[in-house]
């Protein structure tokens, strides 16, 4: 019997990859990774120079990314069929081989690998190697802590309805907003309505070549690639016990 190893790659800088993932990738004879059709793929770029000569690569090309709304029935149908197909192909290969699947960040933190994992976990042996999340890399490159003391950190998706983004922004001390891209105008409106826009940062390609850090209020609505995260740093809350004592 073979197995599937999912290697968390961390936030983008190869030096921030775990030793365990590094070893698994360099020893792999079969490597699979997600990518957009016609692109090299971010995961593949991170491991450039690490893959052994002769290793077989399996680019798993998404049938759709942003071409149609993510919440449409057709989008869900296409993605479900894509994951079903690749789960079947990897399960067959894992009957006799060991395959390393690459995953940016941490595989169990909004990673695409989760969709394969739920289809494969009862069929083949799977080992998952954790990775530093992309958001961790992004808030570190800003040079300031994301949370202090009793701060509450909320991780939001830019795809949420605007009213929900506003409510969370008002109720949390520190914010991480992922899946920005074309949702950036909505994210900016929500943060402005919550009185947080002036505190917000946009980090593009954190820890990677081409890294950019900008005050969100100064970023044009159209100027937000997929690999970007919005951050609002916490400022530290006084412990509840101390407030009660007063």
Q: Is residue 173 part of a domain?
A: yes
Of 170, 9, 26, nearest to 104 (Cα)? 9
One domain, residues 31 and 125? yes
One domain, residues 39 and 128? yes
pLDDT of residue 64: 79
pLDDT of residue 59: 97
One domain, residues 8 and 122? yes
pLDDT of residue 120: 97
One domain, residues 152 and 128? no
One domain, residues 47 and 99? yes
What are the pLDDT digits (tens) for 198-222?
Answer: 999 999 999 999 999 999 999 998 8
Q: Is residue 28 part of a domain?
A: yes
Domain housing 46: 3-132
Domains identified in the chain, total number: 2
* Rounded Cα–Cα distance for residues 35 and 80 (Å): 16
Q: What confidence tier does 245 reach under pLDDT thresholds 50, 70, 90?
A: very low
DSSP for 132-197? --HHHHHHHHTTS-S--BTPPEEEEETTS-HHHHHHHHHH-SEEEEE--GGGHHHHHHHHHHTT-G
One domain, residues 25 and 119? yes
One domain, residues 126 and 144? no
One domain, residues 194 and 119? no
Q: What's the distance, CA 66 to chain centroid?
A: 16
Q: Are 141 and 227 in contact (CB under 8 A)?
A: no
One domain, residues 11 and 110? yes
Residue 56 has pLDDT above 50, yes or no: yes
One domain, residues 17 and 74? yes
Residue 143 has pLDDT above 70, yes or no: yes
Residue 243 has pLDDT above 90, yes or no: no
Q: What's the distance, CA 210 to chain centroid?
A: 18
Q: What confidence tier does 244 reach under pLDDT thresholds 50, 70, 90?
A: very low
- CATH code: domain of residue 212: 3.30.950.10
């Amino acid at each position: 019997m073979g197995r599937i190893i999912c290697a968390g790659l961390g936030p983008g800088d190869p030096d921030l990859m775990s030793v365990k993932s590094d070893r698994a990738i360099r020893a792999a004879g079969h490597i699979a990774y997600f990518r957009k059709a016609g692109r090299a793929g971010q995961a593949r770029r991170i491991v450039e120079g690490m893959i052994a000569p002769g290793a077989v690569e399996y680019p798993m090309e998404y049938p759709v990314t942003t071409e149609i709304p993510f919440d449409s029935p057709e989008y869900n149908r296409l993605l479900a069929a894509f994951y079903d197909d690749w789960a079947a192909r990897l399960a067959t290969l894992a009957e006799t081989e060991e395959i390393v699947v690459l995953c940016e960040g941490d595989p169990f933190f909004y990673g695409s690998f989760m969709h394969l994992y739920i289809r494969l976990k009862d069929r083949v042996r799977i080992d998952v190697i954790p990775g530093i999340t992309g958001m961790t890399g992004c808030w570190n490159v800003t040079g300031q802590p994301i949370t202090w003391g009793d701060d509450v950190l909320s991780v939001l998706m830019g795809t949420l309805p605007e009213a929900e983004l506003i409510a969370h922004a008002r109720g949390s001390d520190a914010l991480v907003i992922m899946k920005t891209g074309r949702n950036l105008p909505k994210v900016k409106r929500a943060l402005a309505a919550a009185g947080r826009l002036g505190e917000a940062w946009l980090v593009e390609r954190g820890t990677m070549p081409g890294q950019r850090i900008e005050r969100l209020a100064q970023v044009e609505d159209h100027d937000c690639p997929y690999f970007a995260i919005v951050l609002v740093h916490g400022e530290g809350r006084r412990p509840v016990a101390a407030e009660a004592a007063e």
